[in-house]
C-alpha cells in the first residue's frame, strides 16, 4: 500500500460489456470520493462511461454506494457503475412469466 509522504492508494474499476477498465490512484490521506473523481477525469485513457458515472454519482466502495463526501482509505476499491439497461422489476416479471 502507498503510505509514503501521507498518500493512500485507491483502485478504480468500471465493468463494461465485454471488458473492464481499472486504474490506481495515489491520493492524500483524507481524500474523498469527489477528490478521486477529479483525479480520475484527469487520468489518461479514462473512458467516457467512467466520466459519466462520476457526474451521475453512480459510485461505490467495495459494492456499497457512497456519496461524494465519503472519505477513502488506503486500499479501497472505488467502483464506477454503469446505468441500468433494463428495469430490474420488469426483468423479474418477464422471467417469472416464462414457463418452466
The whole-angstrom separation of Cα 10 and Cα 32 is 11
What is the value of pTM for the model shown? 0.76
In this prediction, residue 67 carries a pLDDT of 92
Crossing angle of helices 33-42 and 48-55, rounded to 10°: 150
16 has which bridge partners? 19
Rounded Cα gap, residues 66 and 43, in angstroms: 21
Domains of the chain with CATH codes: 4-97 (3.10.20.90)
Percentage of the chain beyond pLDDT 70 is 96
Give per-residue pLDDT as tens, 10-55.
999 988 888 888 899 999 999 999 999 889 888 877 778 777 888 8
- Rounded Cα distance between 45 and 38, Å, is 14
d(CA 57, CA 36): 12
Amino acid at each position: 500500500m502507498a503510505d509514503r509522504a501521507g498518500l493512500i492508494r485507491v483502485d478504480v474499476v468500471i465493468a463494461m460489456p465485454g471488458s473492464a477498465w481499472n486504474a490506481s490512484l495515489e491520493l492524500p490521506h483524507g481524500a474523498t470520493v469527489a477528490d478521486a473523481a477529479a483525479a480520475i477525469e484527469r487520468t489518461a485513457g479514462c473512458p467516457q462511461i467512467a466520466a459519466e458515472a462520476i457526474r451521475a454519482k453512480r459510485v461505490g466502495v467495495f459494492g456499497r454506494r457512497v456519496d461524494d463526501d465519503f472519505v477513502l482509505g488506503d486500499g479501497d476499491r472505488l467502483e464506477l457503475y454503469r446505468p441500468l439497461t433494463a428495469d430490474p422489476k420488469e426483468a423479474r416479471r418477464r422471467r417469472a412469466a416464462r414457463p418452466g
